[in-house]
Amino acid sequence: MAASSSLFNTSLSSFDPKPKPFYPNSLSKHRPSSLITCTTSSSSNNASPSKVRRSDENIRDEARRHRAISNDFSAKYVPFNAGFDSSESYSLDEIVYRSRSGGLLDVQHDMDALKKFDGAYWRRLFDSRVGKTTWPYGSGVWSKKEWVLPEIDNDDIISAFEGNSNLFWSERFGKQFLGMNDLWVKHCGISHTGSFKDLGMTVLVSQVNRLRKLKRPVVGVGCASTGDTSAALSAYCASAGIPSIVFLPANKISMAQLVQPIANGAFVLSIDTDFDGCMKLIREITAELPIYLANSLNSLRLEGQKTAAIEILQQFDWQVPDWVIVPGGNLGNIYAFYKGFKMCQELGLVDKIPRLVCAQAANANPLYLHYKSNWKDFKAVKAESTFASAIQIGDPVSIDRAVYALQNCDGIVEEATEEELMDAMAQADSTGMFICPHTGVALTALFKLRKSGVIGPSDRTVVVSTAHGLKFTQSKIDYHSKDIPEMACRFANPPVEVKANFGSVMDVLKDFLNKTPKL
């Protein structure tokens, strides 16, 4: 969709040694040994009683000194949404992406072990880890390690201390454009590689790091991508020293996204097809070669992504919002949010879950069509070009996960035309944000649900912003240049060209001030 513009004709991270979790007296005797790493040293784990990092240590070394001697929690792969009679399961140390019947997998935690501790315990533990640099709990993902990958050794974790992203009160946008007083934006795009994909990728690449130490046959890690998964994969692999291979649809991702895996040393294939074509190819290739699949078909990814939901509850001091709106493409994230909220309910941190809205671009809307047909036979579509290029996906791998999530939270699916999503992005930006087009899709869903009265003026609503706007500047340039065929670009704000003399500058400024609302 990129168009050049005459208006924009320029070339184009004293060390606090350990968090101090609160252990209620009644629970302290049940303190799980897996948590020893995050408490003060104890004679039971042979750790040094020293509270400070030694001068010859880095934070990994320090964490190693406090390593747990055993682990009470565990997780395994099971077929997604399997009945209670299913006994099929796989160790997370196996390389498996699909169930025996060809269906999706899910990471299933030992909930009975987690339930030995009440909601208050978990809330306090998670809260105690925020804002620290202790390895690996300084990460918003690994601060929830017991619920993510409980058995991985801290030493195998590859992390950029991702997560802990800003939850921003969108005061002016909510008031001015939506008549809302409790609208929030969860800025998942303010992250290491500029999208929410970092949350899942730290988990996947950490597990790959462990698999390689266990001598499992993993020579490299590969993905198909619309630009964000590839950026996250290449960065985490580069950090771990693991080869990464990315399949990109030629000319369908932004320049900023393309340069990310290139800079991080990934093996980049630009393929003359769309994302769905790339996805098909990477699945075939990973079945043949010792390349580990990093797309969200791999349920490990969703374990990291679900922490964004837990984080939202944490940021609201464990109060549950009414609505959470998420832009959807390959549809792993909508399920990840559901799973995060649901675990918090099941483990007693909160007593309910929010209603979820999945927002799609009208040009790539298979889930929306499925929803509108009352969930009758799903049909993949040919995804057309959209400014929300990262969700230009017609055959989402996680369709079953998305349907399950939405059906179990009284969820809704909405869609956004190109004009609607671009207008919504421009309106949000005009109130001080700088969002990506996918967030524009989510905001369009909000506009529609406010208009229809489904979402009320005082409903606490969270819009998930999935990528940083700086990855998608060309779409903003096109819009503000009014350079998009058949789009009015109603909120365009092009620069004014003016001669370099006092009179000319005064003229344009007087004109501007005359049109500016007086105080």
Ligand X SMILES: Cc1ncc(COP(=O)(O)O)c(C=O)c1O
Which option in ligand X, ligand LJ64HWYM, none does residue 225 bind, with CB closer than 5 to 8 A by kind? ligand LJ64HWYM
Q: Choose which of 331, 357, 383, 403 interacts with ligand X (CB under 6 A).
A: 331
Comparing CA positions, the residue from 122, 27, 150, 184 lying closest to residue 314 is 122
- Closest approach of Cβ 269 to ligand X, in Å? 18
- Closest approach of Cβ 500 to ligand LJ64HWYM, in Å? 44
Q: Is 206 in the site for ligand LJ64HWYM (CB under 6 A)?
A: no
Q: Is 249 in the site for ligand X (CB under 6 A)?
A: no
Q: Which of residues 282-311 bind ligand X (CB under 6 A)?
A: 296
Which option in ligand LJ64HWYM, ligand X, none does residue 427 bind, with CB closer than 5 to 8 A by kind? none
Backbone angles phi, psi at 56, to 5 degrees: -95, 10
Q: Which of residues 278-307 bind ligand LJ64HWYM (CB under 6 A)?
A: 295-296
How far is the C-alpha of 107 from the C-alpha of 237, rounded, in Å? 22
Per-residue contact string for residues 351-390; x = within reach of ligand X by CB under 6 A: ---------------------------------------x
Token pair of 183, please? 């609208």
> Which residues contact residue 307 at a Cβ distance below 8 angstroms, ignoring those fewer than 6 apart?
140, 141, 143, 144, 147, 148, 163, 199, 340
| Contact region with ligand X (CB under 6 A), list: 3-11, 145-153, 331-339, 374-382 | 331-339
Which option in ligand X, ligand LJ64HWYM, none does residue 254 bind, with CB closer than 5 to 8 A by kind? none
Backbone angles phi, psi at 136, to 5 degrees: -100, 15
Q: Choose which of 390, 403, 436, 463 interacts with ligand LJ64HWYM (CB under 6 A).
A: 390
The answer to whether the Cα torsion of 46, 48, 51, 55 is positive or negative is negative
Q: Where are the alpha helices (DSSP H) in 349-436?
A: 366-372, 399-407, 418-429
3-state secondary structure of 30: coil
In terms of CB distance, is 38 or 105 closer to ligand X?
A: 105
Which option in ligand LJ64HWYM, ligand X, none does residue 249 bind, with CB closer than 5 to 8 A by kind? none
Backbone torsion region of residue 44, taken as left when φ is above 0, otherwise alpha when ψ lies between -120 and 50, otherwise beta: alpha
Q: Is 469 in the site for ligand X (CB under 6 A)?
A: no
How far is the C-alpha of 252 from the C-alpha of 222, rounded, in Å? 19
Comparing CA positions, the residue from 270, 435, 454, 458 lying closest to residue 355 is 454
Which option in ligand X, ligand LJ64HWYM, none does residue 438 bind, with CB closer than 5 to 8 A by kind? ligand X
How far is the C-alpha of 84 from the C-alpha of 172, rounded, in Å? 49
Comparing CA positions, the residue from 39, 109, 130 lying closest to residue 314 is 130
What kind and span of H or E run contains 194? none
| Contact region with ligand LJ64HWYM (CB under 6 A), list: 79-87, 122-130, 221-229, 479-487 | 221-229
> Which residues contact residue 32 at a Cβ distance below 8 angstroms, ignoring those fewer than 6 apart?
71, 72, 73, 113, 116, 117, 146
In terms of CB distance, is 183 or 237 closer to ligand LJ64HWYM?
A: 237
| Contact region with ligand X (CB under 6 A), list: 61-69, 133-141, 154-162, 321-329 | 321-329
Which option in ligand LJ64HWYM, ligand X, none does residue 328 bind, with CB closer than 5 to 8 A by kind? ligand X
In terms of CB distance, is 39 or 165 closer to ligand X?
A: 165
> Which residues contact residue 506 at a Cβ distance below 8 angstroms, ignoring those fewer than 6 apart?
none
- Closest approach of Cβ 502 to ligand LJ64HWYM, in Å? 50
How far is the C-alpha of 138 from the C-alpha of 142, rounded, in Å? 7
How far is the C-alpha of 389 from the C-alpha of 463, rounded, in Å? 19
Q: Is 328 in the site for ligand LJ64HWYM (CB under 6 A)?
A: no
Q: Is 163 in the site for ligand LJ64HWYM (CB under 6 A)?
A: no
Residues forming the site for ligand X (CB under 6 A): 195, 226, 228, 296, 327-333, 390-391, 436, 438, 466-467
Q: Which residues bind ligand LJ64HWYM (CB under 6 A)?
A: 223, 225-230, 295-296, 329-330, 332, 390
